[in-house]
Structure 1
């Protein structure tokens, strides 16, 4: 089990929490430990063409960042790495000290590397991602990423193309994505 500090769309009630962390919690692959704050300041900005929250890898600049700590299993950690595009270098996963329940712990966080002239450095810095900033967020796709969900729901990767076709067929019949997924996986998934 691994601790992960989340500060943006993975926080409770935000879009990626509802799509990925909440189902992981329902499947006992993640547990919320509580609200936390970074020990050191970092720049947290919202930007890019999709209005994404970025924690920038410039420790000491900005403010202490407020978020939540989750303990996740290996499958959920792989799902989060995929969501955050760690393999492409979009984000990197590093350990930083955070304060949780008046105790300093080391927790992983997804952080964005930046060059000195990166335009993200010029954006307004915030200490907490809120529903106000989330209004402009745009997901990469219309539906949740099935490859990420495969880690959460223990779906074999070779089943994904067929599952995707079946989900689209149910969507055309008026099902929601979640209802289509549950229908296809069975109530016990």
Structure 2
């Protein structure tokens, strides 16, 4: 089946189709020509196409994570918990522009300060997430009360052609200038040489998050 082989070639080693228009064109042009009497085969191809369409429509957000949401970091379970939605690892990457990544507060929380041109090209991971996962990440990051989710250029570090993707990134945009005097990180690890191990939320003062909500900004950090 030439049509089936063509579609399979598009989906090899991919979690989803990336060019729906091409698939639609292939099916439309060939289904009557190649399978005038094989309605079952054509129907099966359309079922596969519709399933892939549903997957794409529900996984349309690319998110760049640089702190505790990365693999082997304290909050990565948020990304892997199916109750939170779907998150699929795409690639490792780094910010195209330099930003200051710091560790602050008594709980050693990593913050990416929105101060372009300062710091490093911060390393992290790119994920494709569905609407539900993005909503849960917004809750975790307290967007837009504390972190602000913004689109940013991320360079794939394992690409020979310096591929750039537009991804959602959680920035701290309201902060005191003295935070820029803290050491900048290029690649965050909770167990890094900095000795500032992240304190998980379950071990924190219960009033800490309430303070964020009451102040409605992070300027006091």
Normalised by the length of structure 2, the TM-score is 0.58
Aligned residues: 139
Q: Which residue of 1 aligns with 2:151?
A: 95
Per mean C-alpha deviation after superposition, the further-off stretch among 28-37 and 50-59 is: 28-37
Structure 1 outlier segments of 4+, above 6 Å: none
Distance (Å, rounded) in 2 between the aligned partners of 1:13 and 1:127: 17
Q: Are 2:122 and 1:65 aligned?
A: yes
CA distance in 2, matches of 1:141, 1:27: 18
Match of 1:3 in 2: 62
Aligned twin of 1:34? 91
The C-alpha deviation readout for 1:35-70, integer Å capped at 9, x for no partner, is 001100000001111101100000111110000000
Q: Deviations over 1:92-119 (max 9, x none)?
A: 000000112331111000000134x433
Q: In terms of Rg, which structure is larger?
A: 2
SS of corresponding position for 2:167? strand
Label 1:99 to 1:47 Cα distance change in 2 as closer, same or farther (>3 A). same
CA contact (8 A) 1:65 1:128 kept: yes
Give the distance between the partners of 1:52 and 1:99, measured in 2 at CA: 24
Report the TM-score, using the length of structure 1 for normalisation: 0.68
- Determine which of 167, 177, 185 is the counterpart of 1:107: 167
Counterpart selection for 1:141 from 202, 205, 211: 202
1:53 matched to which residue of 2? 110
Greater Cα offset, 30-39 or 98-107: 98-107
1:80 and 2:137 aligned: yes
> What is the RMSD of the two structures over their aligned residues, measured on CA atoms?
2.1
